[in-house]
Amino acid sequence: MSTKINKLEFPSLGYGFEALKPHIDKLTMQIHYTKHHQAYFGNLLAAVKDTDTENLDFEVVLKNISKYPVSIRNNGGGHFNHSLFWSILSPNGGGEAKGELKKAIVDQFGSFAKFKELFDNAAKTRFGSGWAWLGVNSDKKLFVSSTPNQDNPLMDVAEQKGTPILGLDVWEHAYYLNYQNRRPDYISAFWNVINWDEVEKKYSRLLVG
Ligand code: MN
C-alpha cells in the first residue's frame, strides 16, 4: 500500500466512540481520535507542505526516517501508528489469533499465552510514552518489541525492524481518563477488543509480498 504523503487520508474508525466500552471508554476514544490523531495528521501535512517530501511514499519516508526532521518522525509515526491502532480494534474483538497467524505464534513463541506474556511485558515496561508491537521482520518471522514516543518498527531508528501488524498505544492519553496510573489494567482490557481477523489479514499480506 504505497501512498504519497500529500495523498494520505484521515482514516474512519469503523465503529462508534462508545463501541469499545467498558474496555476503552467513550471520552478517551473521542479525544484520542479527534484531537490527538488529528493533530499528528495535521502536523505531518504541515511539516511536508511545499517540500519534496510531500510527494514521497509515506512508508518509504518512515523507513528512512533518520534522514528527516524530527517533526516528520513524531507526526508521521503518530499518523501511521494510530491508523494501525484503530484498524486492529473491534467491539467484536478478543479471543486468540486464528489460522496461519496462530500457528506462527505457537511455532515461534511456544504458545499463545507465552506470546501474550511477552507482549504484555513489552507494553508494561515501556518507560514513559510509546507503543508495544507484534511485527514481522524481513525473514517473515514474528517479533514482539516496543518503541518510544511515536516511533515504530518500520523506522530505521527502531531496534527491531519490520512491519507492525498489531500495536498498543501506551501513552497516558490512551488510558488515563479511565485507568489513571493503572496501565496494566488497560493492557489486560486491550485483549478483549483486538480484531484478530484484521491482524491476520495484515500478516497474510506480508507473507505473500
Ligand atoms: Mn495515542
Residue 2: what pLDDT?
76
Q: What percent of the chain has pLDDT above 90?
A: 98
pLDDT digits (tens, 9 = 90+) for 46-64: 999 999 999 999 999 999 9
Residue 208 Cα to ligand 1 midpoint, Å, equals 30
Q: What is the pTM of this model?
A: 0.97
Amino acid at 10: F
Integer-rounded Cα Rg, in Å, for the chain is: 16
Q: Which residues contact 182 (CB under 8 A, 6 or more apart)?
A: 175
| DSSP letter assigned to residue 194 | B
Residue 54: what pLDDT?
97
Residue 82 Cα to ligand 1 midpoint, Å, equals 6
The percent of the chain in helix, strand and coil, each rounded to the nearest 5, is: 55, 10, 35
